[in-house]
Amino acid sequence: MARPATPICVLCERPMIPEKNGVYALLMAHMPPKIYEVYHSDKYRCTICGNEILSGYGNDAVIIHYQEDADERIARILALPRDVYVYVFENEEQKAFLKRSR
Ligand SMILES: [Zn+2]
């Protein structure tokens, strides 16, 4: 077997497959939570258990909250299909707050 090129599912002990490239990782900060930075990432899926993960984030954020057009660009991402972006929370409180307000 060759050196693995993708993440490995620890539960299933099998390489994961690329599911989607160019998924946005929305890094949350503060309370109430706000999108702080956005990174391009790749989504992988385990073909056995179905677990999905993000891996790889490029060198630089594609959006940073203080950029002049950040709100507009973030709004465009949030209008995309739900499988194209993933919120990344710092804690469960942020996640619960956003879930209540959706
Ligand atoms: Zn698995």
DSSP secondary structure of 33-47: TEEEEEEEEEEEE-T
Residue 74 has pLDDT above 90, yes or no: yes
Distance 20 CA to ligand 1 centre (A): 17
Total domains in the fold of the chain: 1
Residue 2 is assigned to a structural domain of this protein: no
Is residue 28 within 8 Å of residue 36, measured between CB atoms? Answer: yes
How many angstroms separate the alpha carbon of residue 102 from the centre of ligand 1? Answer: 30
Q: Is the pLDDT of residue 64 over 90?
A: yes
47 in any annotated domain:
yes
pLDDT score, position 101: 85
Interval between CA 31 and ligand 1 midpoint (Å): 33
In a domain, 22, yes or no: yes
Rounded distance from Cα 6 to ligand 1 centre (Å):
13
Per-residue confidence (pLDDT) for residue 22, from 0 to 100: 93
In this prediction, residue 102 carries a pLDDT of: 77
pLDDT (tens digit per residue) in 3-48: 999 999 999 999 999 999 999 999 999 999 999 999 999 999 999 9
How much distance in Å is there from the Cα of 53 to the middle of ligand 1?
11
Q: What is the pLDDT of residue 78?
A: 97
On whether residue 37 sits in a domain, the answer given is yes
